[in-house]
């Protein structure tokens, strides 16, 4: 049906073009046959320039109105999140000031100085003071942004492992995620893809002889206790993947042959986030959309109603099912986390003998 | 060094035409004007394919997994019952990127206008080596053909993204497209790079050696400066991509481990050990980032020339414009790491690349301010070329500004590889460079084909394209900030993104309309070649030397002596002259001072 509609739209556009060509050709009879802009062309296009300026402002406002209120832009769920969001907001404000002014000047000048017969342009080729000014201003502004950005970056990336830190391995494969917790000793056992033994259910290639590996725990859901720093050690067994956790402002590639890392401290539990009014509004909105698409969603075997959860997404093209490589993240209290952890099988018990 | 006196020695051979056959004139031509046209037509055909692909995958994003007659007709077995499958979606995305970046905006833009304008604007009879120039085009043609053939192989075309990161691109078992499709992709690119290098060397040699008498470097039009510097960047960076492609071919076919290590796939451990995909990323982006300047600098040159001509005013800050081209060129080779902030490389490197990346905003800002000041108190002639040039400045600013966010390593963490990136680079280098190319075509069409393009169709083409370009890419920033990753076949597995569905439909509608209106341009272009109004010698009343050549193309460009140059190319509306332009070959009047620049 959509395809049919699309085709009809394309057809109408084609007819419209054809008609407009005819109109333009008729309009040209009588005027000089030249294809160079006339004074009339200058005037019409000058007004269109101002119209276009309005369009740019309108689409900016519309985008903010309909899309700018996405809770993902605020409500970060990690301790470094608010600092990053502030930098983002400052950068955005700066961008929109510059954008508004320069687009105005560009289109306004195009309108104001439209060509007229008998007028001569100003012969104005150089002004070193002006050049110096608009070199200097960006230098100062960018220097401030660079310095602020670098402090933020360094504080996020330089993770120090303390006693309190939980070490978790994120393991990527086409097309799913696994998490491996370090267990009681908080030390991950050695691992390498060469040690993978499918028959013994050693799917992550953990070294069975390593004493540190015995109490490791492998899961398909990521549980994190709130307020405790977590350090992810990332591995991939086949191609590049990227562990993207947008709510936590966290992302790092998983690279076969090396271990990458990223650390943060979750600051809001899943259940608290579900109570957040912004999130509730978003969820309600999504559910009303989903109710409208009821048949299609049920045909796919998905649950109809959406409930908020943190997610880990793959964000580096990794093959056919890249679009569905995800893992649920649950942030909970220390007690809930401990209770959940107790239910999990230790690595040494998970092997089939 | 400034001028080349020897050009007069050749003045004898131009007059009598060599007997030219159809083959030497239209196919294996060594004339730079014909080669320019060949580049343009080939680039246009590739562009149509690239844009059509983008419209198909936009339809899939807007109406995921729904049958579509277009898919059924064009994709065949890849769209059973008219539903696009996930593999071909990734392949379309991949080939769209490859074609648009390399075949349209590198070869189609730079190849066309460097070839056309370098000899004509510096006052040379032809390129330094007409033969190499011909070889360069035919290698480009060959690589285009191979790329097209790769679309039809059994297991599908390359589908690892245009950046072809290994191991995905190296292992046929990781992706169907990484078999024969990827082999052809790599062969095609290797040939493309050879073509590009031959072309670039030719441009550099020609600009340095064949300038006419009086054409000092500080009298060169900015177009030539842009082409010259672009060619230098190409020579510096393209060989690195060639080596990356060759190493990848060796990993794929000869069992080496440059980019691969510790891989377990489909139930078996592969033998690779010790390589690193991050190394490939470094090599790729060492070309990949300068590549965006290879794309945008020629467009900047064309736009500078068109804005000054149509404003009837000298370009503002000629010297600053040259300095900023040089600064951009230099910085472009030391910023590649900003594509790799979260690749796993040392975070300290990220800090360094943030610093160099944000520096590049400074010369870019200078250029934008200079263009705007050139408009100020001008007498602006709204020819279609001028509209596209103003549009260029507009999209370049909009797209460039968000570079401040992406270039900042901390902010990149959360928007990396989302639609925010797509929005940014499409506006700043995709749409902008395309506008530069359109501007160039509208402006120099009379020079290329001796006929005029229909201006009203040009206006229609510009305004619809301008609105659709913003309509497509502006909202994408917000979708990206909402966290939607790029290269997802469908978002229906993430209820989280359900509220973006409508925005995606709107974007796709803009894309369809914008794409359809390119037909207006194609119609105008092909019809005007044969039936357009005959052009005058200098329709835009321009100062540069190409407009002193006759409308009918002749081998050697000028029927008599090559004109000498007495002034820079920006004497528009100069006080003391009756007309508002003074071509470069007009000697200074008594007592007239040349502007010190």
> What is the CATH number for A228?
2.60.40.420
* Residue-level pLDDT at A129: 92
Asked if the structure places residue A310 within a domain, the reply is yes
Its pTM stands at 0.93
**Which of chain B's residues have a Cβ under 8 Å away from the Cβ of A106?**
371-372, 375, 390, 393-394, 397
* Residue-level pLDDT at A70: 59
Asked if the structure places residue A50 within a domain, the reply is no
Asked if the structure places residue A315 within a domain, the reply is yes
* Residue-level pLDDT at A73: 60
On whether the CB atoms of residues B171 and B155 are closer than 8 A, the answer is no
Instruction: Name the residue among B97, B91, B94, B95 with its Cα closest to residue B76.
Output: B91
Bridge partner residues of A266 (DSSP)? A78
Contact B313 A48 (CB under 8 A): no
Asked if the structure places residue A171 within a domain, the reply is yes
Kind and range of the H or E run holding A172: strand A166-173
Is A152 near chain B, with CB under 8 Å? yes
**Interfacial A residues in 21-40 facing B (CB < 8 Å):** 21, 24, 27-28, 33-37
Q: How many residues does chain A have?
A: 353
Choose among A13, A33, A138: nearest Cβ to B365.
A138
**Which of chain B's residues have a Cβ under 8 Å away from the Cβ of A49?**
390
Asked if the structure places residue A204 within a domain, the reply is yes
**Which of chain A's residues have a Cβ under 8 Å away from the Cβ of B66?**
2-3
Q: Is the ipTM of this complex over 0.95?
A: no
Contact B275 A257 (CB under 8 A): yes
Q: Is the pLDDT of residue A33 over 80?
A: no
Is A233 near chain B, with CB under 8 Å? no
Rounded Cα gap, residues A215 and A208, in angstroms = 11
- pLDDT band at residue A65 under the 50/70/90 scheme: confident
How much of chain A is in helix, strand and coil states, percent to nearest 5? 50, 20, 30
Contact B402 A59 (CB under 8 A): no
Residue B23, Cβ density class (10 Å: 0-12 exposed, 13-18 middle, ≥19 buried): exposed
Choose among B168, B383, B405: nearest Cβ to A240.
B168
Chosen for mutation from A23, A323, A327 (greatest number of chain B CBs closer than 10 Å) is A323
* Residue-level pLDDT at B10: 45
Is A2 near chain B, with CB under 8 Å? yes
Distance from CA of A202 to the nearest CA of B (A): 12
Q: B403 to chain A: nearest residue by CA?
A: A95
Asked if the structure places residue A45 within a domain, the reply is no
* Residue-level pLDDT at B17: 52
On whether the CB atoms of residues B280 and B165 are closer than 8 A, the answer is yes
Q: B379 to chain A: nearest residue by CA?
A: A115
**Which of chain A's residues have a Cβ under 8 Å away from the Cβ of B512?**
6, 9-10
**Which domains are present in chain B?**
32-263 (1.20.210.10), 295-534 (1.20.210.10), 539-597 (no CATH)
pLDDT tens digits along A99-145 = 999 999 999 999 999 999 888 899 998 899 999 999 999 999 999 99
Contact A286 B499 (CB under 8 A): yes
**Which of chain B's residues have a Cβ under 8 Å away from the Cβ of A239?**
166-168, 171, 174
Q: Indicate the number of domains in chain A.
A: 1
pLDDT tens digits along B123-149 = 999 999 999 999 999 999 999 999 999
Asked if the structure places residue A103 within a domain, the reply is no
On whether the CB atoms of residues B191 and B171 are closer than 8 A, the answer is no
CA B225 to chain centre: 16
* Residue-level pLDDT at B14: 46
3-class SS at B113? helix
On whether the CB atoms of residues B223 and B444 are closer than 8 A, the answer is no
Rg of chain A, C-alpha, whole Å: 29
Domain of residue A194, residue span = 166-350
Q: Give the residues of chain B that fall short of pLDDT 70.
A: 1-19, 596-597
Choose among B320, B481, B503: nearest Cβ to A72.
B481
Asked if the structure places residue A264 within a domain, the reply is yes
Kind and range of the H or E run holding B371: helix B361-375
pLDDT tens digits along A298-350 = 888 888 999 999 999 999 999 999 999 999 999 999 999 999 999 999 999 98
Instruction: Name the residue among A16, A67, A104, A335 with its Cα closest to residue B502.
Output: A67
Q: What tokens does B499 get?
A: 């509220």
Give the CA angle between residues A61, A65, A66 to the nearest 5°.
125
Is A331 near chain B, with CB under 8 Å? no
């Amino acid at each position: 049906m959509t395809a049919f509609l699309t085709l009809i739209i394309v057809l109408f556009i084609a007819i419209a073009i054809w008609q407009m060509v005819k109109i333009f050709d008729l309009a040209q009879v009588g005027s000089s046959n030249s294809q160079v802009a006339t004074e009339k062309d200058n005037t019409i296009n000058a007004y269109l320039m101002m119209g276009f300026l309005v369009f740019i402002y309108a689409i900016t406002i519309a985008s903010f109105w309909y899309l700018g209120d996405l809770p993902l832009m605020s409500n970060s769920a990690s301790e470094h999140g608010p600092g990053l969001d502030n930098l983002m907001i400052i950068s955005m404000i700066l961008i929109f000031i510059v954008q508004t002014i320069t687009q105005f000047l560009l289109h306004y000048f195009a309108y104001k100085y439209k060509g007229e017969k008998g007028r001569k342009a100003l012969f104005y080729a150089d002004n070193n003071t002006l050049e110096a000014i608009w070199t200097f201003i960006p230098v100062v502004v960018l220097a401030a942004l660079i310095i602020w950005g670098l402090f933020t970056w360094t504080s996020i990336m330089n993770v120090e492992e303390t006693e309190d830190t939980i070490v978790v391995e994120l393991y990527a494969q086409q097309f799913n995620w696994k998490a491996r917790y370090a267990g009681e000793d908080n030390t991950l056992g050695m691992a390498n893809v060469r040690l993978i033994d499918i028959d013994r259910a050693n799917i992550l290639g953990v070294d069975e002889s390593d004493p540190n590996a015995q109490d490791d725990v492998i899961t398909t859901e990521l549980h994190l206790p709130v307020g405790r720093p977590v350090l992810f050690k990332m591995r991939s067994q086949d191609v590049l993947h990227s562990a993207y956790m947008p709510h936590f402002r966290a992302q790092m590639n998983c690279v076969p042959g090396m271990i990458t890392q990223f650390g943060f401290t979750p600051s809001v539990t899943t259940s608290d986030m579900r109570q957040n009014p912004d999130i509730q509004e978003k969820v309600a909105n999504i559910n009303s959309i989903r109710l409208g698409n009821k048949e299609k969603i049920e045909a796919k075997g998905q649950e109809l109603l959406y409930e908020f959860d943190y997610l880990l997404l793959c964000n580096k093209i990794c093959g056919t099912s890249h679009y569905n490589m995800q893992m649920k993240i649950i942030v909970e209290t220390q007690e809930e986390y401990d209770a959940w952890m107790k239910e999990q099988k230790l690595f040494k018990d998970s092997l089939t003998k | 060094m400034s001028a080349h006196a020897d050009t007069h020695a050749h003045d004898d051979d131009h007059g009598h035409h060599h007997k030219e056959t159809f083959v030497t004139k239209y196919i294996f031509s060594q004339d730079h004007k014909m080669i320019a046209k060949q580049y343009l037509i080939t680039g246009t055909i590739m562009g149509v394919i690239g844009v059509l692909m983008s419209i198909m995958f936009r339809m899939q994003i807007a109406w995921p997994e729904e049958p579509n007659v277009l898919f059924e007709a064009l994709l065949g077995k890849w769209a059973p019952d008219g539903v696009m499958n996930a593999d071909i979606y990734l392949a379309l995305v991949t080939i769209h990127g490859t074609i648009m970046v390399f075949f349209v905006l590198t070869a189609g833009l730079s190849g066309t206008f460097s070839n056309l304008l370098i000899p004509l604007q510096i006052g040379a009879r032809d390129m330094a080596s007409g033969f190499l120039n011909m070889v360069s085009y035919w290698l480009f043609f060959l690589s285009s053909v191979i790329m097209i053939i790769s679309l039809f192989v059994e297991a599908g075309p390359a589908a690892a993204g245009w950046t072809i990161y290994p191991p995905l691109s190296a292992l046929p078992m990781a992706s169907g497209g990484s078999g024969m499709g990827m082999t052809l992709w790599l062969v095609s690119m290797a040939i493309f790079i050879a073509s590009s290098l031959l072309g670039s060397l030719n441009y550099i040699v020609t600009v340095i050696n064949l300038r006419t008498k009086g054409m000092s470097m500080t009298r060169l039009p900015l177009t030539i400066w842009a082409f010259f510097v672009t060619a230098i960047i190409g020579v510096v960076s393209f060989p690195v991509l060639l080596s990356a492609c060759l190493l990848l071919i060796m990993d794929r076919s000869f069992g080496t481990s440059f980019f691969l290590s510790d891989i377990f796939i489909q139930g078996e451990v592969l033998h690779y050990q010790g390589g690193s995909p991050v190394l490939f990323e470094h090599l790729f982006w060492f070309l990949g980032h300068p590549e965006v300047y290879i794309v945008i600098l020629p467009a900047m040159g064309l736009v500078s020339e068109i804005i000054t001509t149509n404003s009837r005013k000298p370009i503002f800050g000629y010297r600053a414009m040259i300095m900023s081209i040089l600064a951009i060129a230099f910085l472009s080779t030391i910023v590649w790491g900003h594509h790799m902030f979260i690749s796993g490389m040392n975070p300290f490197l990220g800090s360094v690349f943030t610093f160099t990346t944000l520096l590049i905003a400074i010369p870019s800002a200078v250029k934008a301010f200079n263009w705007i000041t050139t408009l100020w108190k001008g007498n602006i002639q709204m020819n279609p070329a001028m509209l596209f040039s103003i549009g260029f400045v507009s999209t370049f600013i909009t797209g460039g500004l968000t570079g401040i966010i992406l270039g900042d390593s901390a902010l990149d963490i959360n928007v990396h590889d989302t639609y925010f990136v797509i929005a940014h680079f499409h506006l700043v280098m995709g749409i902008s460079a395309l506008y530069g190319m359109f501007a160039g075509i509208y402006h120099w069409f009379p020079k290329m084909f001796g006929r005029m393009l229909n201006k009203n169709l040009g206006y229609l083409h510009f305004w619809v394209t301008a609105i659709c370009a913003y309509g497509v890419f502006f909202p994408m920033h917000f979708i990206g900030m909402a966290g939607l990753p790029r290269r997802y076949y469908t978002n229906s597995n993430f209820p989280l993104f359900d509220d973006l569905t409508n925005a995606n439909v709107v974007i796709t509608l803009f894309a369809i309309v914008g794409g359809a209106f390119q037909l207006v341009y194609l119609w105008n272009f092909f019809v005007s070649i044969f039936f357009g109004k005959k052009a005058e010698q200098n329709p835009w009343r321009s100062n540069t030397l190409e407009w002193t050549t006759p409308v009918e193309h002749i081998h050697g460009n000028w029927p008599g002596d090559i004109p000498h140059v007495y002034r820079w190319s920006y004497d528009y509306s100069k006080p003391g002259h009756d007309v508002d332009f003074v071509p470069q070959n007009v000697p200074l009047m008594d007592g007239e001072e040349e502007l010190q620049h």
